[in-house]
Structure 1
Amino acid sequence: MSPKGYFLKTDEIFWDRKNKKIFNKKYTTIISNSDRIRLHAKNGIEASEDLKEIRLKNISGTLPIK
């Protein structure tokens, strides 16, 4: 869970300690409970270890409309 409340769900994740990054090539979901955003990355994720910078690959999702 990130400091801003984003939750990352995946079956596999790798950590590059030297570059302070996490990554995978598996289906990944990012959920934000505070603003009801749900994003799906079909081909994996690359992110900073604190989840402040996230790159999702082949993305789909739902966003609330006000």
Structure 2
Amino acid sequence: MSPDGYFLRTDEIFWDRKNKKIFNKKYTIISNSYGIVLHAKNGIEASEDLKKIRLKNISGTLPVK
């Protein structure tokens, strides 16, 4: 979970300690308690604190008020 309340769910994740990044090429879900759900079909690249995230082949659900 990130400091902003985002949850990351995936079957596999790698950590590049030198560059302080996490990444994978697997299906990944990122969600939060506000109803945002993002699906990355081809993986992610992100800073280790999840402040910068790049999702590959993305789809998702965003709440509208």
What band does the TM-score fall into relative to the shorter chain? over 0.9
Q: CA deviation at 1:22?
A: 0.1
Q: Which residue of 1 aligns with 2:25?
A: 25
User: What is the CA deviation profile of residues 24-64 of structure 1, one whole-angstrom value per residue up to 9, with x for unaligned ones?
Assistant: 0000000111x210000000000000000000000000000
Q: CA RMSD in A?
A: 0.4
| Runs of 4+ in structure 1 over 6 Å off | none
Q: TM-score, normalised by structure 1?
A: 0.97
> 1 CA distance for matches of 2:5 and 2:35?
11
Question: Structure 1, unaligned stretches of length 5 or more?
Answer: none
Q: TM-score, normalised by structure 2?
A: 0.99
Question: Structure 2, unaligned stretches of length 5 or more?
Answer: none
Q: Which residue of 1 aligns with 2:57?
A: 58
> 2 CA distance for matches of 1:47 and 1:36?
21
> 2 CA distance for matches of 1:55 and 1:47?
6
Question: Identity, % of aligned pairs?
Answer: 83
